Amino acid sequence: RRQGKSKVKIPLIRLFRAVCLERTAEMPLLRDHGHRSWPLSFFEHFTRTFPAFPTLPPAMLYYAENRVACKACPGVGFHYAERKVILFMWSVIILAVVIIIAGGLTYAGFFFYGIAIKRAPKEFLAKTPDLKADPPVAGPSWGEGADWVSRHSFRKIEITSDDGLTLRGYYLPSERAAGRTAIIAHGYSGKGKDMGACAKIYYETMGYNVLLPDARGHGDSKGEYIGFGWPERRDYLRWIEYLLAESGPEAQIVLHGVSMGGATVMMTSGEELPPQVKAIVADCGYTSVKAQLSYQLWRMYHLPSFPFVHMASLITRIKAGYFFGEASALKQVRKARVPILFIHGDADKFVPFYMMEELYQACRSPKDKLVIHGAGHGVAYDTDKAAYVGKVTDFVTRYVQI
Query: Are 265 and 199 within 8 A, CB to CB?
Result: no
**pLDDT tens column, 176-206:** 878 999 999 999 989 999 999 999 999 999 9
What pLDDT, on the 0 to 100 scale, is given for residue 191? 94
**pLDDT tens column, 271-319:** 999 999 999 999 999 999 999 999 988 888 788 888 889 889 999 999 8
What pLDDT, on the 0 to 100 scale, is given for residue 399? 97
Q: Which residues of the chain have pLDDT under 50?
A: 1-43, 46, 53-78, 132-140
**Reading across the β-sheet that carries 155-160, which strands appear in turn?**
155-160, 166-172, 209-213, 180-185, 252-258, 277-283, 340-345, 367-372
What pLDDT, on the 0 to 100 scale, is given for residue 125? 61
What pLDDT, on the 0 to 100 scale, is given for residue 126? 60
- Give whole-number Cα distances, 285 to 102, 202, 354, 358, 380, in Å: 33, 20, 11, 11, 12
- CB-facing half-sphere around the CA of 142: CA atoms within 13 A: 18
CA angle 46, 51, 57 (to 5 degrees): 55
Query: Are 260 and 229 within 8 A, CB to CB?
Result: yes
What domains does the chain contain, in order, with CATH numbers? 2-78 (no CATH), 82-117+290-320 (no CATH), 130-288+327-399 (3.40.50.1820)
